[in-house]
Amino acid sequence: MFTLLWWLGPWMDQQKSPSDISLDKIPISNGEFELFVYRSQKKKSKGAIYVIPGLHYEGPEDIRLDRFARVLAASGMIVGVPALPTMKNLIMTPSVWEENIQGFECFLQLELPKKPGVFSISAASIVAFQLGAHERWGRYIREMLTFGGYVDWSESLIFSLDGKIDEDIYIPVDPLGMPVIFLNLLEQLSEIQDKDVFKTQLLQFVTSTWEKEEMQSFACYAPLAKEISRDVALQDRELFLQACGVEEGGVDIIRRIILDELYDSSWLQPKQFFHKMQTKVTVAHGREDGVIPFTQAERLWGEIGLEMRGGYHVTGIYHHTGLISLQKLLRMFLQLPTEVWNSIGLVRSIARVGGVV
């Protein structure tokens, strides 16, 4: 646990990773994707944890996720991270459930020191809940921790557009998150003339800009969107630029689709699994999360049966993808002791889920 506290704390340089961690990539489903397996070469592994990535085109190769997996491995866990094709394609479809089961089955075939825990990130919470409620595989899970998960998919999408929780609470959102939402709503946009090209170019824009600090300003991403839009059908270019947040109207289009219930997200609602869960669940969230609001964590916790509750942690030290900036950290100086204590509780839960305490 002390290893986790050292590497995951606000005092640590988040660009550094533990050394002497081995990485093996195991083919799954006839080589359609891989399971990334991390182990410490310094110490014998005492536990195991299966980490389910959220929506990101790099999957386990995202430098932040790779670092997190290495930190877990350095603490004494065997870590498995599946490169789920659905999550890397950025479009949520039920196929992700079968992909995840294949990844988990592959992980179980390794020589694990004990029953593995499951750690899910952001939108992958729905995948974790499906696994935890699975009649066959749920009983093989030691415990589960979902970080940044949601209880209502549609509400989370709307929040990610404007960052409004209520009249008094606003959290800055990623201006480049809207193209990812459009990718998931393409089937509802019948006015697009050439959806294949539209999707390809939108993916190109996302992979060039999403979650990259240097592309956060309009002055940086707007010219790129206009350049990429040249390969989109002439009739589709205005909508493409709206999807990229370069022209006005994109937010209204998404709101209309969601609020008019033109988008069926019923399969993405986690409540269908809670009464079938076979393992305890710890709910954790960053208060500064600008993609899924921290209020979803409280509601999620309330939906989980008392006998299945493992722990609850909401901390202001983390946002959606990691630690908040040093500037924000200093602004919350008076709350820092409480927040550090909350973070220690979160680290203890991670260690428990991974079986190293």
Number of Cβ within a 10 Å radius of residue 265 = 15
The length of the chain is: 357
Residue whose C-alpha is closest to residue 69's, from 36, 116, 33 = 36
Among candidate residues 110, 63, 101, the one with its CA nearest the CA of residue 82: 101
Q: What is the pLDDT of residue 55?
A: 94
**Strands, E, within the chain: which ranges?**
21-28, 33-40, 47-52, 77-82, 117-121, 144-147, 281-286, 309-315
Q: Do the beta carbons of residue 188 and residue 262 sit within 8 Å?
A: yes
Q: What pLDDT score was predicted for residue 320?
A: 45
Write the pLDDT tens digit of every residue in 243-269: 999 999 999 999 999 988 888 889 999
Residues of the chain with pLDDT under 70: 1-2, 5-7, 9-15, 166-168, 316-341
Query: Are the CB atoms for 255 and 161 separated by under 8 Å?
Result: yes
Q: Among 36, 20, 48, which residue's Cα sits nearest to residue 114?
A: 48
Residue 32 burial by Cβ neighbours in a 10 Å radius (0-12, 13-18, 19+): exposed
pLDDT at 333: 46
User: CA torsion 139→143→145→149, rounded to 10°?
Assistant: 30
Nearest Cα residue to 151 out of 305, 275, 303: 303
Q: Residues 150-173, buried b or exposed e (16+ Cβ, 10 A)? A: bbbbbbbbbbbbeeeeeeeeebeb
Buried b (16+ CB within 10 A) or exposed e, 286-303: bbbbbbbbbbbbeebbee
Please give the structure tokens belonging to residue 34.
């891989």
Q: How many C-beta atoms lie closer than 10 Å to residue 189's C-beta?
A: 16
Strand order in the sheet with 117-121: 21-28, 33-40, 77-82, 47-52, 117-121, 144-147, 281-286, 309-315
How far is residue 113's CA from residue 78's CA, in Å, rounded to a whole number?
8
**Residues with Cβ < 8 Å from 327, sequence gap 6 or more?**
none
Q: Give the per-residue pLDDT at 186.
A: 93
In whole angstroms, what is the distance from residue 176 CA to residue 245 CA? 7
pLDDT given for residue 334 in this prediction: 47
User: How far is residue 204's CA from residue 199's CA, in Å, rounded to a whole number?
Assistant: 9
| Angle in degrees, 0-180, between the axes of helices 195-209 and 218-228, rounded to the nearest 10 | 150
Placement of tokens 């209020």 in the chain: 295
Confidence (pTM): 0.91
pLDDT, residue 183, reads: 95
Written as six digits, the tokens of 113 are 């020191």
Tokens linked to 84:
């789920």
Helix or strand holding residue 342 (H, E): helix 336-353
Q: DSSP class of residue 56? A: -
Q: pLDDT tens for residues 289-345? A: 888 999 999 999 999 999 999 999 988 665 445 554 444 544 554 455 566 667 788
Beta bridge partners of 286: 315
Q: Across the strands, what pairs with 167?
A: none
